[in-house]
Amino acid sequence: QVHLVESGGGLVQPGGSLRLSCVASGSIFNINTMTMAWHRQAPGKERELVADITSGGATNYADSVMGRFTISRDRGKKTVYLQMNSLKPEDTAVYYCNYRGTPIWGQGTLVTVSS
């Protein structure tokens, strides 16, 4: 069994920061050897890729978050993070963690950016 659990969402004012965490468990996939991704889905919109990180640490970001978000990983904790800075109302969405290229997703964590 493989599980991904996201946490860290909440209500933040525009311009604020938040750090999301994704903790992995299970033996089918090893988070430390997989490309991991953060996606988000805003109300009425399609789910979109926000960022991903390879096993070697190479990162990729959507244009909409470039320069504001940072994806990272802690192999000892089997955790992937998404540091979100300079948050905008349009960042409001449910954020999901995913083993990239697989149908394995976490339950999502809600980020609301509002004044």
Q: What are the tens digits of pLDDT across the range 62-99?
A: 999 999 999 999 988 989 999 999 999 999 999 999 99
Terminal-residue alpha carbon distance, the chain = 40
Residues 12 and 18: their CA atoms lie apart, in Å, by 8
Q: What is the pLDDT of residue 108?
A: 96
Between CA 59 and CA 71 the distance in angstroms is 7
57: left (phi over 0), alpha (psi -120 to 50) or beta: left
Judging by DSSP bridges, how do beta strands 18-26 and 36-41 pair with one another?
unpaired
* Tokens matching residue 8: 């860290």
Band of pLDDT at residue 59, cut at 50, 70 and 90: very high
pLDDT at res. 49:
97
Name the residue with tokens 């940072």: 70
- What band does 2 get if pLDDT is binned at 50, 70 and 90? confident
Summarize pLDDT for 24-51 with one digit per residue, the tens.
887 667 778 889 999 999 999 999 999 9
pLDDT of residue 81: 97
One-letter amino acid of 41? Q
As a whole number, mean pLDDT of residues 13-31 equals 88
Q: In terms of Cα–Cα distance, which of 61, 74, 68 is closest to 18? A: 68
Contact 36, 97 (CB under 8 A): yes
**What is the residue type of 53?**
I
